[in-house]
């Protein structure tokens, strides 16, 4: 944890620092020159010189453009006058805008200028051991003495020329070998040692080992760090004697930490993430906080003393400062709120729209271009520096398109994106703290939160005296925090509801934007605070010396005695401990005299006037005490009388409240029956209103239909077309309705009139096109001379325009009724808007010509005329062949590629096609290429980290794999939702196959020894950290769960949802096709004896055909395991539907029962015989119902008697057969006794038995 001590802060009237720029530049240049040779100071940084066996490549090729951008960015920062923070905020927010409205004390305030010069703000880090970091040394550390021996002459001769050639090719990756074996002729330890030394010294980057092969000794040379060992040979030069880290102190002026790190990484040619540090320090400061200066103070000495005493004794409200919310007119918390609301269009607009206030010129031009064109490419051209947030977002929009803002926004670095939502948390926290202080003041109250360890608990009524305001914390909103139990808890909820957010659901669908929350103290009391008021007459003179000034031997600044300008310098020091329980009069007197007169002995002459002033103050205070002493008894007496009167009034009000409450309760009890009756009436009224609305819709559709008919009868085609367009819009509005019959009625009406109008207008339009001799397919010259304009050209052109406009009115209904043409699924091109109807008609003759020339056996349809296109494809392949090796072995590019790989997996042309589709035995799971590629990526990651030495590092990589799996699942879900309307389509099935494949592979991996070891390691980590429950620990220890259980459960849930959607879709089709079969006249069908041959019912054909077609379709598109689940779920629903809706809803004569049994056993059941041996076992309701309905009369009468007897007698006689045994004897096991009795009653033509 990092601690910051505040020593001095300066505030001064805003002024340019141009006049001191030269001196500052010289100082910065000295730091830069010395930092190359030695340690720098201020902030502890760790520079990690990675070793060959555990590092990645540090060389980043093609960095010229990035460096150029950095230089341009630096140049742009130097243009113009530097701004103070107050300057930057004058066009932006005020403190009240972000909830900063309260103070800890009530003394009169005064004004000053903070951070006028960056040198007014000095920060020093404090380590855990309490040591303050200082820049105090420029010397270069000396390495420990190491003995380096020159290689012996035998080292250069022990290897043959052939061995050297092979080793050089291995070192430079010029052959396909992964190792080189050198036979040891003289097998001695000394000889082997010399060969080992020769290989390592002559060929850096190679490692050696000794192996026995066929009874001979060989020295095996190989790459220890793989092909990446050549990427940066400099990293091999770091001496092992120096340890793994280079610790140094960073001193920086007028730069934040990231800027300073970027400068160091640029000159050292390493990546910025090689540096380790704690937190980012202010840019407008010299950061080696020990001193802070407040300039141009307007307050009196007493006011300053009161303010500083308040700071030391009470502290300050721990508000988030203004820089947290940005320095422009668009606060960062507004962007964070839009992210949490999933309002990505607003996120894009807030970042890119023009804004008032001072900004770099290129940013202003970029925003203006965006507001004018909404074109990412055009706006990006206005940015010379594209690594800013605006540039990164524009690049993302250019790459992913305007409809995929989430992915475009994801290009912005994660820390920058999280800054926005953290800003919103800070905004809420500030407002809630202000409200809490306004409501309860600076004291702890019941319901407040305090921290016990890392856990927040509420203050109970009895414990409130044990805590002060300095113990109270307030939560930043999130899913892992609790809220105060008083009014402020409700205020949190109200504020988030006003922002369209749910305080109980702060998890975002994108994991990075889920807010877990945190706790922050309301009041902070700084330690070891001291201060001094000084006067100065030159604003350019620094008021204290920095570490660099001390190293350069600069003297302390000379300050004037007159208080022309005053500055308060606050210094945090450790003070001598005093006993606060005793009044130390001498100490206070000496402190007061020193403060008033200072250390100048010449000022002692002022002591008389000071004593006289103090005497007058004492006299005045004594008079006030006497006055107050005489008034206190009267005030106490009046207060007691008022309290007694208030008590009586309160008692009277309580009695009236009790009477009123009893009256209300009695009235509510009497009104309860009326309310129940009223609820029933209201329900009936609402149902009538729904029926009335339904009838109104039907009436409206019929009125529109009648209007179209009247318009056509009067040849008013334009009005008819307009009315049809309006009816089509109504159809679109009704799509979300559940009234299927109403939807079918309006769709059929639209279809009827659309066909009539389209045929009429198409005929007239084609006639006009014929008059104009369309299409114009000849050259322009022949058209000019060969085609004369028709005699009535103006009339023809007028008709063309009129018909074109009328056809456009039919566009809505045409798109509603016409299914767009789709390319084959192996060419998954993005959807394009439909061609307008008149253009379609004009394209018809051109399409006929194209089909004539480029299909069939025409000479124009020759594939060898596509050489130009094929040549372009070859160029692309050559480019990929050259670039892929670079991508594979460059860490920076490869890591960036992994992020983009997820999108490319799902957007490639072959993403949903199985690469083994033509190999039946291999393509059993029908795995799409995107799933295969993704699992290969996970496998490669596993292979890379499985040999790491520590389990903790392996668990980190396992967490990365889980995040990748969850991200891929979310992407699959998003693609699936786009395909929901075509749940039986090829792409939807491919997504389902992908989900099933990933879940299956993860289940197999869970039993792998490597992942079982990781599970054991995770168990040990969780047991030490107490982050999981005892139940979860027990499951991990007993191996009941696995490391992938959470991912597998989510994938299984997604798979079940998708399968259910498919089953429901097919079942709806089957129900629609079974409507006629449901209405079959089962009571009057001829018996089996009256028919020559039994045949399938004609009304059953549509239902069975639908079942057959869908089963065949999905058998081809789903893998075997998924299809098995599908047909079993479908069979269960069909079984219940036929049993409940057809069998139980009809009566059957002998012929009807026989026909039903024939339809089911000879037609329905065989449809499923391809997938199991006994399909009737999946239709038990139907099978057993057919048995009951087709019993002969005698058996049916006997069974009926048995069932009736069993119902009448609760305990059967031993000689009487049980109902269950009788049913089992007939083969009925599924149906209950009551269901069998109902089925027997559905049989017609029972003989008259006299009962």
**Catalytic site positions:** 282
Cα–Cα distance for residue pair 1164/1160, rounded to 1 Å: 5
145 CA to centre of own chain = 53
Cα–Cα distance for residue pair 475/430, rounded to 1 Å: 11
3-state helix, strand, coil in the chain (%, to 5): 60, 10, 35
Angle (CA) 292 295 297, round 5°:
120
- Closest by alpha carbon to 8, among 771, 526, 696? 526
Given a contact cutoff of 8 angstroms between Cβ atoms, the answer to whether 544 and 291 are in contact is yes
Cα torsion 900, 903, 907, 911: sign: positive
Helix/strand/coil for 896: helix
Angle (CA) 476 480 482, round 5°:
65
Q: Please, where are the H alpha helices in 269-358?
A: 301-313, 332-340, 344-352
Q: In what order do the strands lie in the sheet with 455-458?
A: 455-458, 449-452, 472-476, 518-521
What does DSSP assign to residue 654? H
* Tokens 């089957």 found at: 1070
- Closest by alpha carbon to 459, among 474, 447, 470, 467? 447
Contacts of residue 1004, Cβ cutoff 8 Å, sequence gap at least 6: none
Q: How many CB atoms lie within 10 A of CB 85?
A: 18
Q: Please, where are the H alpha helices in 714-775?
A: 717-733, 740-771
Q: Please, where are the H alpha helices in 79-152?
A: 85-89
Given a contact cutoff of 8 angstroms between Cβ atoms, the answer to whether 1186 and 1180 are in contact is no
Helix/strand/coil for 241: helix
Given a contact cutoff of 8 angstroms between Cβ atoms, the answer to whether 288 and 249 are in contact is yes
Q: ω before 775 within 30° of 0 (cis)?
A: yes
Instruction: Provide the strand spans (E) within 165-230.
Output: 179-183, 206-213, 216-223
* Tokens 């109403």 found at: 742
* Tokens 């409700």 found at: 490
Angle (CA) 26 28 33, round 5°:
95
Helix/strand/coil for 932: helix
Cα–Cα distance for residue pair 325/377, rounded to 1 Å: 29
Cα–Cα distance for residue pair 41/549, rounded to 1 Å: 13
DSSP H/E element including 829: none
Cα–Cα distance for residue pair 627/631, rounded to 1 Å: 7
DSSP-assigned letters across all residues of 664-690:
HHHHHHHHHHHHHHHHHHHHHHHHHHH
The burial class, CB within 10 Å (0-12 / 13-18 / 19+), for 823 is: exposed
Given a contact cutoff of 8 angstroms between Cβ atoms, the answer to whether 1143 and 1243 are in contact is no
Contacts of residue 15, Cβ cutoff 8 Å, sequence gap at least 6: 116, 539
- Closest by alpha carbon to 297, among 599, 546, 96, 9? 9
Q: Please, where are the H alpha helices in 234-328?
A: 257-268, 301-313
Cα torsion 601, 606, 612, 617: sign: negative
Region of residue 528 (phi > 0: left; psi between -120 and 50: alpha; otherwise: beta):
left
């Amino acid at each position: 944890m990092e601690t910051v001590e505040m020593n001095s802060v300066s505030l001064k009237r805003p002024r340019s620092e141009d006049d001191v720029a030269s001196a500052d530049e010289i100082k910065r240049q000295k730091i830069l020159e010395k930092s190359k040779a030695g340690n720098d100071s201020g902030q502890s940084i760790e520079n990690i010189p990675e070793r060959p066996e555990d590092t990645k490549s540090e060389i980043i090729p093609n960095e010229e453009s990035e460096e150029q951008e950095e230089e341009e960015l630096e140049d742009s920062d130097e243009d113009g006058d530097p701004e103070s923070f107050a300057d930057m905020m004058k066009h932006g927010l005020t403190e009240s805008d972000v909830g900063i409205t309260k103070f800890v004390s009530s003394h009169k305030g005064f004004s000053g200028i903070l951070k006028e010069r960056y040198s007014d703000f000095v920060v020093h880090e404090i380590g855990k051991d309490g040591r303050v970091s200082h820049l105090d040394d420029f010397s270069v550390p000396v390495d420990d003495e190491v003995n380096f021996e020159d290689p012996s002459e035998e080292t250069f001769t022990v290897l043959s020329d052939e061995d050297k050639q092979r080793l050089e090719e291995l070192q430079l990756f010029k052959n396909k070998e992964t190792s080189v074996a050198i036979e040891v002729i003289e097998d001695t330890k000394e000889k082997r040692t010399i060969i080992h030394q020769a290989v390592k010294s002559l060929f850096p980057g190679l490692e050696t080992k000794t192996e026995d092969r066929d009874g001979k000794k060989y020295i095996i040379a190989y790459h220890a760090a793989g092909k990446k060992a050549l990427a940066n040979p400099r990293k091999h030069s770091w001496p092992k004697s120096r340890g793994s880290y280079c610790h140094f102190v960073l001193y920086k002026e007028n730069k934040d930490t990231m800027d300073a790190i970027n400068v160091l990484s640029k000159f050292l040619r390493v990546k910025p993430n090689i540096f380790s540090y704690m937190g980012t320090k202010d840019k407008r400061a010299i950061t080696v906080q020990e001193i802070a200066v407040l300039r141009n103070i307007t307050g009196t000495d007493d006011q300053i003393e009161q303010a500083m005493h308040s700071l030391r004794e009470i502290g300050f409200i721990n508000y988030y400062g203004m820089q947290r919310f940005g320095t422009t007119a668009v606060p960062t918390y507004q962007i964070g709120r839009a992210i949490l609301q999933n309002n990505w269009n607003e996120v894009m607009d807030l970042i890119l729209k023009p804004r008032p206030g001072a900004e770099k010129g290129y940013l202003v031009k970029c925003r203006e271009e965006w507001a004018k064109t909404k074109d990412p490419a055009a706006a990006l051209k206005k940015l010379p520096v594209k690594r800013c947030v605006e540039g990164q977002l524009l690049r993302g929009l250019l790459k992913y398109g305007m409809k995929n803002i989430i992915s475009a926004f994801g290009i912005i670095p994660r820390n920058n994106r999280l800054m926005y939502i953290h800003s919103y948390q800070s905004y809420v926290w500030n407002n809630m703290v202000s409200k809490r202080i306004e409501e309860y003041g600076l004291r702890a109250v019941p319901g407040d939160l305090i921290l016990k360890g890392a856990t927040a608990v509420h203050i109970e009524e009895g414990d409130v005296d044990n805590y002060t305001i300095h113990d109270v914390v307030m939560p930043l909103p999130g899913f892992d925090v609790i809220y105060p139990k008083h009014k402020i808890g409700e205020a949190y909820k109200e504020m988030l509801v006003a922002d369209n957010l749910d305080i109980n659901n702060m998890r975002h669908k994108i994991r990075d934007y889920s807010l877990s929350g945190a706790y922050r103290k309301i009041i902070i009391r700084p330690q070891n605070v001291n201060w001094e008021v000084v006067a100065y007459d030159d604003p350019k003179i620094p008021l204290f010396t920095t570490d660099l000034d001390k190293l350069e031997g600069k003297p302390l600044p000379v300050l004037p005695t007159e208080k022309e300008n005053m500055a308060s310098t606050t210094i945090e020091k450790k003070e001598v401990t005093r006993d606060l329980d005793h009044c130390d009069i001498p100490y206070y007197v000496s402190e007061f005299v020193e403060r008033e007169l200072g250390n100048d002995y010449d000022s002692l002459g002022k002591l008389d006037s000071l004593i006289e002033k103090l005497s007058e103050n004492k006299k005045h205070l004594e008079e006030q005490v006497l006055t107050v002493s005489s008034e206190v008894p009267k005030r106490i007496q009046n207060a007691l009388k008022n309290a007694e009167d208030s008590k009586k009034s309160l008692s009277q009000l309580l009695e009236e409240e009790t009477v009123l409450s009893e009256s209300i309760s009695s009235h509510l009890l009497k009104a309860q029956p009326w309310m129940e009756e009223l609820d029933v009436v209201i329900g009936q009224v609402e149902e009538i209103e729904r029926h009335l609305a339904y009838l109104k819709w039907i009436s409206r559709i019929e009125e529109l239909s009648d209007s179209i008919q009247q318009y056509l009868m009067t040849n008013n085609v334009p009005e008819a077309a307009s009315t049809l367009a309006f009816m089509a819009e109504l159809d679109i509005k009704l799509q979300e309705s559940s009234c299927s019959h109403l939807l079918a009625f309006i769709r059929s009406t639209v279809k009827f009139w659309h066909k009539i109008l389209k045929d009429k207008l198409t005929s007239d339009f084609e006639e006009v096109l014929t008059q104009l001799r369309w299409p114009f397919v000849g050259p322009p010259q022949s058209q000019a001379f060969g085609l004369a304009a028709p005699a009535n050209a103006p009339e023809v052109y007028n008709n063309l325009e009129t018909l074109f406009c009328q056809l456009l009115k039919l566009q809505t209904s045409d798109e509603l009724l016409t299914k767009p043409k789709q390319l084959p699924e192996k060419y998954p091109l993005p959807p394009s808007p439909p061609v307008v109807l008149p253009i379609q008609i004009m394209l018809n003759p051109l399409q006929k010509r194209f089909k004539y020339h480029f299909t069939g056996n025409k000479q124009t349809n020759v594939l060898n005329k596509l050489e130009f296109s094929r040549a372009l494809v070859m160029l692309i392949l050559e480019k990929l062949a050259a670039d892929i090796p670079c991508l594979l072995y460059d860490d920076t590019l490869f890591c960036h590629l992994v992020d983009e790989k997820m999108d490319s997996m799902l957007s490639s042309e072959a993403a949903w096609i199985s690469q083994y589709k033509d190999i039946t035995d291999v393509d059993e799971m029908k795995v799409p290429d995107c799933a295969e590629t993704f699992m290969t990526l996970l496998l490669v990651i596993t292979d890379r980290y499985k040999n790491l030495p520590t389990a903790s590092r392996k668990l980190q990589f396992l967490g990365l794999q889980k995040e990748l799996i969850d991200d891929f699942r979310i992407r699959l879900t998003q693609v699936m939702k786009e395909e929901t309307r075509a749940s039986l389509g090829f792409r939807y099935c491919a997504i389902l196959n992908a989900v099933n494949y990933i879940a299956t592979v993860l289940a197999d991996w869970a039993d792998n020894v490597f992942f079982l070891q990781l599970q054991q390691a995770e168990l040990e980590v969780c047991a030490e950290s107490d982050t999981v429950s005892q139940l979860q620990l027990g499951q991990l220890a007993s191996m009941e769960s696995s490391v992938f259980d959470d991912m597998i459960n989510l994938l299984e849930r997604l798979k079940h949802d998708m399968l259910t959607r498919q089953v429901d879709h097919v079942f709806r089709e089957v129900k629609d096709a079974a409507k006629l079969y449901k209405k079959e006249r089962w009571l009057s069908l001829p018996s089996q004896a009256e028919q020559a041959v039994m045949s399938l019912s004609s009304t059953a054909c549509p239902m069975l055909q639908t079942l057959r077609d869908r089963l065949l379709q999905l058998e081809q598109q789903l893998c075997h395991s998924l299809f098995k689940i599908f047909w079993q779920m479908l069979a269960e629903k069909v079984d219940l539907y036929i049993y409940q809706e057809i069998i139980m809803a009809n009566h059957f004569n002998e012929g009807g029962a026989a026909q039903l049994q024939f339809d089911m056993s000879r037609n329905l059941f065989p449809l499923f015989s391809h997938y199991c041996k006994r399909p009737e076992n999946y239709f038990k309701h139907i099978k057993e119902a057919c048995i009951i309905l087709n019993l002969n009369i005698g058996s049916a009468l006997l069974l009926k008697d048995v069932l009736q007897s069993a119902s009448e007698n609760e305990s059967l006689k031993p000689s009487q057969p049980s109902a269950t045994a009788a049913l089992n004897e007939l083969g009925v096991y599924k149906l209950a006794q009551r269901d069998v009795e109902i089925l027997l009653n559905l049989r017609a033509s029972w003989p008259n038995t006299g009962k």
